[in-house]
Amino acid sequence: MQRRLDRQANTNFKTIKMLIRTAQIEALGTPKKEKFIEKTIAFLKENTPKWAESKTDDQISATIENMIELGRERNIKKEINIQKLLFHWIKYELKTPPSPEIDAELIQESRSENYRVKCMIKAIRRNGVR
């Protein structure tokens, strides 16, 4: 009986420990994400000034959040690749969700994230896909 209680207590401890770790990881991600958004706002203001001049920082931030989510759905996680997506989405006035041609480049299985983004950019430049 005591062993069963010990095992149950140990299992509960592991669960609690895991929940704390998950919360810690999520908390650590928030400042990094906020820093990325700040950096990307500056990037977009510098590289897409006509688009950015009519937007508040909150509007630009919302656009960045949307692209982060689109990237997450397509397994695009690197900051530089999110910025590349944003730049080309703005430059070529692309719509969300992406067209089938663009999405096909972004969801290629067994291809690296960098390669998929590069292929998407080539497809946009080649075809002027909207």
**Reported pTM:** 0.74
Percent of the chain clearing pLDDT 70 (strictly above): 75
Q: Do 98 and 106 contact (CB within 8 A), yes or no? A: yes
Sign of the alpha-carbon dihedral angle for 51, 55, 57, 63: negative
Span 27-76, pLDDT tens digits? 556 788 899 999 999 999 999 999 999 999 999 999 999 999 999 999 99
Band (pLDDT 50/70/90 cuts) for residue 122 is very high
Sign of the alpha-carbon dihedral angle for 57, 62, 68, 70: negative
pLDDT of residue 32: 87
pLDDT of residue 130: 53
